[in-house]
Amino acid sequence: MPEKASSTHISNKSKIARRLIEVLEYFDDNHQQATVMDIARRYDRPQSSTSELLVSMVELGLLRKDHASRTYHPTPRAAMIGTFGQPPFVRDGRIVRLIDVLSEQTGYSVALTSMVGLDSQIVQWRHGPTGLACTRELSGGSKIPFITAPPAG
Per-residue model confidence (pLDDT) at position 85: 86
Question: Given this model, what pLDDT does residue 1 score?
Answer: 41
pLDDT of residue 81: 87
pLDDT of residue 119: 82
pLDDT of residue 99: 92
Ranges of residues in the chain whose predicted pLDDT is under 70:
1-10, 131-140, 146-153
* CA 25-31-36 angle, 5° bins: 80
DSSP string covering 31-85, please? BS-B-HHHHHHHHT--HHHHHHHHHHHHHTTSEEEETTTTEEEE-HHHHHTTTTT
- Separation between Cα atoms, residue 140 and residue 122, nearest integer Å: 5
Q: Evaluate if pTM is beyond 0.85.
A: no
Domain 1-81: CATH architecture, name and number where available: Orthogonal Bundle (1.10)
What's the pLDDT score for residue 2? 43
pLDDT for the residue 139: 67
pLDDT at 4: 47
Q: Outline which parts of the chain fall under CATH 1.10.10.10.
A: 1-81
Cα separation of 9 and 112, whole Å?
33
Residue 111, classified by CB atoms within 10 Å of its CB into exposed (0-12), middle (13-18) or buried (19+), is buried
Residues 6+ apart with CB under 8 A from 26: 34, 38, 39, 42
